[in-house]
Amino acid sequence: MRVVRAAILASGDGGRLQAILDAMYFQEIPDFQLVAVICPRREDYAMKRAANAGVPAYVVDPELFPNMTSHSMAVANKLRDMDIELVILAGYDLPLGVVPYQFRNHIIGTYPALSPAFEDVEGDVNRAVLERGVKVTGATAYFADGDGGVGGIILQKAIDVLPDDTPESLGTRVMEECEWKLLSRAVALYCGGKLSVHGKRVIVKE
C-alpha cells in the first residue's frame, strides 16, 4: 500500500497545522504519514502543537544563513533527506525560494481569498476585501507555483461577508470555516490519488 510521506512547513500559532493534526486524529486523510513539522523559529507555537501530537519538529533558523536562498536550500535538503513526497504549507511566513522547483505539484497551501481575486494585495487580504465592498469571499487550496504563490487551484470555498465584519472577524471565519477545511480536504484528495494536473488546471476525480 502506498503511503504519502509528508512534511508541514509552519510558522506562528500553527492553526492550519492543527487542522491537519485533527484530520489525522479522525482518520480523514487516507494513506498519509506526517513525518515532520519544520518551523523557522523555536518559539513558534506550531512547534508545541507538533510535540503534543508526537510529530517530530525541526527548526531551520533563517538567522543562521547568509540569505533567504541558502535558507530555502537548507529546507529543501531537509525535505529530501527525509524522503518527503508532499509539502504542506501551514501559515509558513518565509519565502519558499528553491523549494517549489524541487517539489513541483507536490506543495499544497491555502490562500485567504477566492483566487485570483486579491492575489496582488500586500498586507491584510481581509481588510482589502472589506475596503472593496466584496459581498462574498472565502479561501483557495492550491498547488504552489514556481514562485511559491497560488498555482493550480484544487478547491475553493466561499462565505458571505457580513455587514458588521471587521478584518479580524472576517479573517477568523475565513480561516476556521474555509482554510482549515480546504487544507485537510486537499491533502486527502492528493493522498487518495484523486488530483491530476493539466497545465494550470487541476482535475479533481471524486
**CA-to-CA separations, 179 to 6, 26, 79, 83, 99, in angstroms, rounded:** 19, 18, 24, 27, 22
Q: What is the predicted pLDDT for the residue at 2?
A: 87
- Residue count of the chain: 206
Give residue-wise pLDDT tens across range 81-109.
999 999 999 999 999 999 999 999 999 99
**pLDDT band for position 151 (cuts 50, 70, 90):** very high
Q: With 90 as the cut, is the pLDDT of residue 163 above it?
A: yes
The full set of domains in the chain, from first to last, is 4-204 (3.40.50.170)
